[in-house]
Amino acid sequence: MKNDKSIVVEGVSKSYQLGSQGESYETFRDAMVSLLKAPFRRFAALRGGGGAGDENLFWALKDVGFEIPEGEIVGIIGPNGAGKSTLLKVLSKITEPTVGRATIRGRVGSLLEVGTGFHPELSGRENIYLNGAILGMGRAEIKRKFDEIVEFAEVERFLDTPVKRYSSGMYVRLAFAVAAHLEPEVLIVDEVLAVGDAAFQRKCLGRMSEVSKTGRTVLFVSHNMSAIQSLTNSCVLMSGGRSVMHDETKKVVTEYLNLFRSSSGEDFSEAARYSFELGQKIRIMKIRAKTPIEYGYYFNDDLVFEIELDSKVKKEGLRFGVTIADAGGQGILTTSTACDIDVEEGERAVFEIRLSDTNIVPGNYVMSVSVGEGNLSEARVQYDVVNPGPMFCVCDFDRSGEVLYNWNPAYGCIAHGGAAFNRVA
């Protein structure tokens, strides 16, 4: 029955013109020369009309289609650049699709960013009203929820202080608190839970699951697989601008991780990262999982990684930090190298990291790598952090031949390779 669908997306595509906006000129002279050469071409390009041709079209969304029943909370997952945010922008009416259509039944509230429209000069109190109105709440509604919002945000004392004097934590808490009290019939949420400290994130997740119990339809983008798994029953998997799968969460998450395993590659030179101080000069370029089989390691293999480091400066006493987290983002183990590493200016150095006796349960893992100074017990300074880094799989043993089953409950049942069966007499 089509009647009880609250969101129906049919063949939605969205293209962007590449190159027409990205031009920048190094010098005034360049700009003038170009302007004189082709003012009309430039005019046409800015208009978004002809001149550019189809090869410059980039399809951020291509034929996306799915239906979401009323009252369901559905996750949208997919690697960076899969089109998740563009999809949410289309569904929030911020941008128009190039082709296709979507129908949403019920009042839509969308939350693509916390604190949209916050004005730094205005006080916390004023911003609650302003932001609430921007998110679609009426004045009476905000007034009614005001105390609740303030309590949620824990900013009572600073209500009349301009938010530009807030700590970033307070700012985010206030912004999220307003957003969390939005009560539309259909809620569209981008990755906004990734803010605030751990306690606040727990509070936000709690709020999200409360919302999901009130019968509202929620569309929810996240990279946090444990949040996705605990909040949603079904998920849409996006990849390369297409919706490739819509099924129950567990299956989609598994498929998502497979996608990563086959395509994450090893080149992280352009990956999203945190860089501090020297981070622009000392950069992690590649992280290569040296796996014995195509996509992973067998249980209890040494986990071997090669890290390529590009340094534009001479630096002594560097150390790597490595963290391995499970698919839900929960850290499993962390280490930092004990020896100091020295790099020369302009050097591209390759290091091997070998982790032995990890005893981690078969499953999917994400590695993150940092380079910095100091180790875990001293004060550590990070320069460049690649997180998430490569994804890898720890596999059960090969079950051919004679196997020893390890019934350690923490592992589940693992067929262990350590069995030899020879006739001796």
Least distance to other proteins, CB of residue 212, Å: 17
Among 31, 32, 38, 99, binds other proteins (CB under 8 A): 99
Which residues are CB-contacts of 25 (< 8 A; sequence separation ≥ 6)? 31, 34
When binding is defined by CB under 8 A, the residue of 117, 292, 346, 412 that contacts other proteins is 117
Q: Which two tokens stand for residue 84?
A: 């998740």
What would the two tokens of residue 160 be?
Answer: 């009349």
Compute how many residues bind other proteins; rule: CB under 8 A.
Answer: 49
Token pair for 127: 């911003």
As measured in angstroms, the least distance from the Cβ of 98 to other proteins is 6
CA distance 57 to 19: 9
CA angle 274/310/324 to nearest 5° reads: 50
Closer of 105 and 312 to other proteins (Cβ): 105
419's tokens: 């069995």
Instruction: Considering the complex, state which of residue 99 and residue 350 has its C-beta at the smaller distance from other proteins.
Output: 99
The verdict on 145 binding other proteins (CB under 8 A) reads no
Structure tokens belonging to residue 20: 């027409």
Position 303 contacts other proteins (CB under 8 A): no
Looking at 216-306, list the stretches that DSSP marks H as alpha helix, in order from N- to C-terminal side. 225-231, 249-263
Write down the least CB distance from residue 187 to other proteins, Å: 13
Structure tokens at 354: 């070998």
Contact code string over 63-92 relative to other proteins, x by CB under 8 A: -------x------------------xxxx
According to the binding rule CB under 8 A, does residue 128 interact with other proteins? no
Question: For other proteins, which residue of 59, 63, 65, 126 counts as binding (CB under 8 A)?
Answer: 126
The alpha-carbon radius of gyration of the chain (Å, integer) is 25
Exactly one of 134, 159, 355, 360 binds other proteins (CB under 8 A); that residue is 134
Place of tokens 């609430």: 132
122 binds other proteins (CB under 8 A): yes
Environment class of 229 (CB within 10 Å of its CB; exposed 0-12, middle 13-18, buried 19+): middle
Q: Which residues bind other proteins (CB under 8 A)?
A: 3-6, 16, 21, 46-48, 70, 89-108, 110, 112-113, 116-117, 119, 121-122, 126, 129-130, 133-136, 138-139, 162, 185
